[in-house]
Amino acid sequence: MKMKTLVVAIATAALPATSVFAAALDRSGQSISAFLQPGNYAEIGVSSLYPTVEGKDRSGNGIADIGESYTFGSAAIKLQPTEKLSFGMIYDEPFGARATYRGSNNFTANGSTGTFGNTSSDLKTRNLTTLFGYEPIDHFKVYGGVAYQEIEKAEVDLRGTAYSVYNGYSSTGDKDSAFGWVAGMAYEIPEIALKASLTYRSEIEHNASTQESLQIGNLLTAVTNGLGQVDAGLSQINAGLAQLAALPDTDTRKAALLAQQQSLTATRTGLVTQQARLAALNALAPSSLEQASKVTTPQSVNLDFQTGVMADTVAFANLRWVEWSGFAIRPALFGAVATAASPSTGGFNLVDYTDDQWSANVGVGRKLSNTLAGNMSVGWDSGAGNPVTTLGPTEGYWNVGLGLRYSPAPQVELSGGVKYFWLGDATAKVSSGTEVADFEDNHALAVGLKLGYRF
């Protein structure tokens, strides 16, 4: 293959990946492909995701689409001051979550339990990675740098009977920034359009001031009021039974009252238990608290590979591992109540995951004309465990993607991509581990645009 054709083929494999949906909180995929472009290069991009995530709670109530569409940007610049040295900066929004429950189900509250509103989550992060590269021998590069990361938004509202004593819990984290590091190496054989890179990203530990509120007092009031209504009902039934005392228990009217008495007595026993538990927790925990919360985004490894397979055609693959099994969020107030509610286990987390994420994306890219190139890809993601949090109830995915790149001038590349996702079925659990809903047959659509410039 001629060198010009190879350069075009390499560029083809760099079409927008639209990696805007993955396991746990992973969003961008944290690619450094722009840094490995030849010569001086800059790009800017935007991606959008349109998910549909529906299910049923364990009471049989339908859960309408909780998926919220979102859009985020990316940008990069890479400079090659000498043949051996390179420098780059990459901006992306690596982690995020956005979901809102609606309708009448166990994840919304209409005031009957003393709380109002819908369960929702909103997390947004930004990352700016600075990289320095050195080529000790031809076609082999080592690189490393610093990653500056900011948590821009972190909000959670838990509503509905699914969350028990946490019905009415809210958490809002302040903006926080922290640093991590990146290191990797790359190798290429230009004659066959082969390029491979291995990149490691460290954990980044945040300590963000977090405002929490918990409406145990409202729940206690609602239970106490309910207990009063049950007692009033029992009094009426007992009065009716007194009037029918001379009749046998088989009498139709008396049998009906006895059945009601048994039912209300069982209800009363449950309410008394709830009342005692809520009273104890209400005495222990404040209704609101502001304190620093530790959040550590996970370490990850990306392996990227491409090679020419015939004239004007390359095959490419990306593998990614993210250590979500070590991730957990446990704000102070939430954790205090969790420990009191489940002392034998040491409490539980607001959000955590049981498995690491593994994902793969493979495909082919081909030059279609002097100004046009395209690609096709297939992707897979393992998810981060099942059952999974109610704030993101999917388990991995399969996807197919199409991309197109147009070059109106040799230095300019306008790329677009689209991916369709078949989201994995998942069982949703609350923090204590209780399974509360099932989500099946869901999907998502992602689109991306990117403008690249070589100089």
* C-beta atoms surrounding 345 within 10 Å: 11
State pLDDT tens for residues 362-394: 999 999 999 999 999 999 999 999 999 999 999
State pLDDT tens for residues 329-359: 999 889 888 887 777 777 899 999 999 999 9
Determine the 3-state secondary structure of 163 from DSSP. helix
Q: Find the distance separating the first CA and the last CA of the chain, reported in whole Å.
A: 24
Residues 299/203, Cβ–Cβ less than 8 Å = yes
* Whole-prediction pTM: 0.86
Classify domain 3-214+285-454 at the CATH topology level: Porin (2.40.160)
Structure confidence at residue 11 as a pLDDT band (50, 70, 90): very low
Encoded tokens for 25: 């909180």
State pLDDT tens for residues 217-248: 776 776 687 788 888 888 999 999 898 888 88
State pLDDT tens for residues 32-69: 999 999 999 999 999 999 999 999 999 999 999 999 99
The pLDDT of residue 57: 97
Strand partners, 31: none
Least confident of 27-31, 50-54, 270-274, 445-449: 270-274
Question: Would you call the peptide bond into 387 cis, given omega within 30 degrees of 0 as the criterion?
Answer: yes
With residue 223 as reference, give the H or E element that holds it.
helix 216-243
The pLDDT of residue 114: 67
Residues 299/201, Cβ–Cβ less than 8 Å = yes
The pLDDT of residue 347: 83
Residues 163/430, Cβ–Cβ less than 8 Å = yes
Structure confidence at residue 272 as a pLDDT band (50, 70, 90): confident
Encoded tokens for 242: 């007194």
